Structure 1
Amino acid sequence: MAGPEGPRAAAVAALVFNAFVWGVSWWPFRELQSQGLHPLWATCAVYLFSLLVVTAMRPGLLRAVRSHPALLWLMLASGCTNVGFNWAVTVGDVVRVVLLFYLMPAWSVLLAWPLLGERPQLPALVRLALALAGVVVILKTPETPWPVPQSLPDVLAILGGFSFALVNILVLRLRGAPAIARVTAMFTGGTLAAAAAGTIAVTQGLAPSPTLLPIGAAALALVLGVGFLLGNAAMQFGASRLPAQTTALVMLSEVLFASVSSVAAGAATLGPRTLAGGALVLAAAAWSALSEPGTKSGNGAQSPA
């Protein structure tokens, strides 16, 4: 008689696929930017595509979202997550961006206290200190007396990770809303936030207006949209069948996919400072994952979308 190994392996494979999609998403975003489409407009198009597909398959979803006004906060947090991450990996050093983004467990410690009433215990505070020490190592250079973000990608990556921590906490607070309504709110937030940020960026001269793409680039944008949609479906499948800590650990493979692909393509460098700081950040993230209760995670959260 078949044991649980098959379903478990399928769930892990689904999560790895989602991590792969996000880990290599920097490349199509950069290719689209080279064709004149800023990552904010690319993000808007990708999430609009996903939103249209989901609502076409399940009419009435937007009404379900409107029936839970608190989902507006989830829309905002999810939108900021995608704006920050997608823009940062397009214009910054990919490994550095991903490592700064994965400060998410540290921000969760700070946010869970006021929003969930979870007072941080000593191990959580130690993990927070470990992650922040990693950030200091990554950001500190001889030219910077204090380890502050040095560029727009740094700021976007940190804000994106903070927003993603908020997404996960809001998902826990909104467990009463149907999972499909939460996912729809995330897609809606990704669409609207990217459109709003793109409009502001254009008016401030930070981004060009959206443009029609040549056929090859349009096909790449479509592939990216399908990849994100399938990646989210894979995340829902895998996360609903595995303990939360297993999901969190498997999703750390995104760092591996992003690092290998970007270094191989010359879009990132692995200097001693990045390696040392990254080791501290990832150690804190892995420790956080291993410390989670062994319950099923099926909460509708995305990574990082």
Structure 2
Amino acid sequence: MVDRLAGTAPATAAWAPVLALVFNAFVWGVSWWPFRHLHAMGLHPLWATAGVYLFSLACLLLVRPAALRHAVRHPSLCWLAIAAGLTNIGFNWAVTVGDVVRVVLLFYLMPAWAVLLAWVLLGERPTAVALLRLLLALLGVAVVLDSGQAGLPLPRSLPDWLALMGGFTFALTNILLRRLQAAPAESRVLAMFGGGTLMAVAAAWLGMQLGVAEAPVAPPAAFAYALGLAVAFLLGNVALQFGAARLAAHTTALVMLSEVVFASASSVWLGAAETSLRTWVGAALIVLAAAWSAWPTRRALRELPST
């Protein structure tokens, strides 16, 4: 019995990081539903986002109070805070008011943006294969945005623009994380949580001035519901940190694509998305481009540690 348990332990341990990433993808993939529920109760997704990240920020400072001191020593983390904050604003607002499948697909143009941003900010010239992936992703977006009418397939609604912005700033967040590796990990997480809080509050206030966001007038039950959402996001982030630290980057990226599956299946099942052949064709092209960008190269495989 001891030998059998010892033999199965490594397999269980090997699956744990993958399951952690799948849990994180599940939280993000179905997050549209609680955000919409809160919106119906009177809590705009911008205010809900601010509350979610304020809770996460408070928990981080409680567990790692030195994170704030480390963050002050790296003022360039402000750019990371802005990028991460805009990512959450774009995604959470878009899935609350838009077609979920369409929003998630436009958001997952992120690998294409990463090619261009790495070229500009990191000096990494894209290879012919990277440019081919970029064209494949852009073709998929064009198919998704095509309304079947005359004219260019351009974003035509607020959710479209928010999803594209969220994907762009998500790619920027990943690039900045690479540039800011000298900063302690806890200070980078602090910047992302702080950015999620401050940028959401700023956007909510500006939205109120422009008449596109409402003041938080939800009943007390809504704030208890929001607390549950905040706990789910915090656990998802912990799961992401656990899984990503134990798996190769390309494996993490591939597993995280399951978010598209969770979002699509849940939204179609609950009637929050419109499905058409055009949408599925565009989805196939975008997901193929994202999976291709995450697929390990021969060099990456050679660099993996032997077991």
**Matched residue type, 1:23:** G
| Residues 204, 144 of structure 1: alpha-carbon distance in 2 compared, 3 angstrom cutoff | farther
1:103 pairs with 2:109: yes
Post-superposition offset of 1:6: 2.3
User: For the Cα contact (< 8 Å) 2:16–2:243, is it kept in 1?
Assistant: yes
1:59 aligned partner? 65
Q: Aligned-pair distance for 1:41?
A: 0.4
Indicate which of 72, 77, 80 corresponds to 2:78. Answer: 72
Residue from 162, 167, 181 that aligns with 2:173: 167
In 1: Cα distance, 2:190 partner to 2:198 partner:
12
Correspondences of 1:279-290 after superposition (within 5 Å): 279-290=284-295
Please state which structure has a larger fraction of its residues in helix.
2
Q: What do the CA deviations read for 1:62-114 (whole angstroms, capped 9, x no partner)?
A: 22111111111100000000000000000000000000000000000000011
* Alignment partner of 1:143 out of 145, 149, 162: 149
2:87 corresponds to 1:81:
yes
Match runs of 1:1-305 below 5 Å: 1-2=6-7, 4-215=10-221, 217-291=222-296, 293=300
1:300 is matched with none
Could you tell me how far apart the structure 2 residues matched to 1:286 and 1:268 are?
23
Distance in 1 (CA, whole Å) between partners of 2:292 and 2:42 is: 41
Distance 1:52 1:279 in 2: 40
Q: Distance in 2 between matches of 1:176 and 1:221?
A: 34
Q: TM-score, normalised by structure 1?
A: 0.94
| Alpha-carbon distance between aligned partners in 1 of 2:84 and 2:174, rounded to the nearest angstrom | 9
Q: String of CA shifts for 1:153-189, please: whole Å, max 9, x gaps.
A: 0000000000000000110111111111111110000
CA distance in 2, matches of 1:237, 1:95: 28
- Gap regions ≥5 residues in structure 2: 1-5
Q: Which residue of 2 aligns with 1:301?
A: none
Check whether the contact 2:41–2:218 (CA below 8 A) recurs between aligned residues.
no
TM-score computed with the length of structure 2 as normaliser? 0.93
CA contact (8 A) 1:105 1:165 kept: yes
> After superposition, what is the alpha-carbon deviation per residue over 1:207-241, rounded to whole angstroms, capped at 9, x for unaligned?
111224332x2222111000000000000000000
After superposition, the Cα gap between the structure-2 partners of 1:260 and 1:151, relative to the gap in structure 1 and judged at 3 Å, is same
Partner Cα separation in structure 1 for residue 291 and residue 10 of structure 2 = 25
Of residues 173-182 and 284-293 in structure 1, the stretch that sits farther from structure 2 once superposed is 284-293
Structure 1 pair 13–202 and aligned structure 2 pair: CA distance change class (3 A): same
Q: Structure 1 stretch 146-155 or stretch 57-66: which is displaced more?
A: 57-66
> Equivalents in 2 of 1:231, 1:144: separation in Å?
43
Deviation at 1:291, TM superposition (A): 4.0
Matched pairs, number: 295
Q: Which moved more, 1:62-71 or 1:274-283?
A: 62-71
Letter in 1 for 2:261: L
Q: RMSD across aligned C-alpha pairs, in angstroms?
A: 1.3
Residue 102 and residue 152 in structure 1: after superposition, are their counterparts in 2 closer, same or farther (change >3 A)? same
Q: Which runs of 5+ in 1 are unaligned?
A: 297-305
Amino acid at match of 1:48: L
CA contact (8 A) 1:102 1:285 kept: yes
The answer to whether the 8 Å contact 1:137/1:276 transfers is yes
Structure 2 Cα separation of the partners of residues 205 and 193 of structure 1:
18
Aligned residue for 1:147, secondary structure, equals coil
Which residue type is aligned with residue 42 of structure 1? A
CA deviation profile, 1:35-76 (whole Å, cap 9, x unmatched) = 111000000010001101110111132221111111111000
Q: Residues of 2 paired with 1:58 and 1:276: CA distance? A: 46
Contact 1:8 1:242 in 2 (8 A): no
1:38 partner letter: H
CA contact (8 A) 2:64 2:186 kept: no
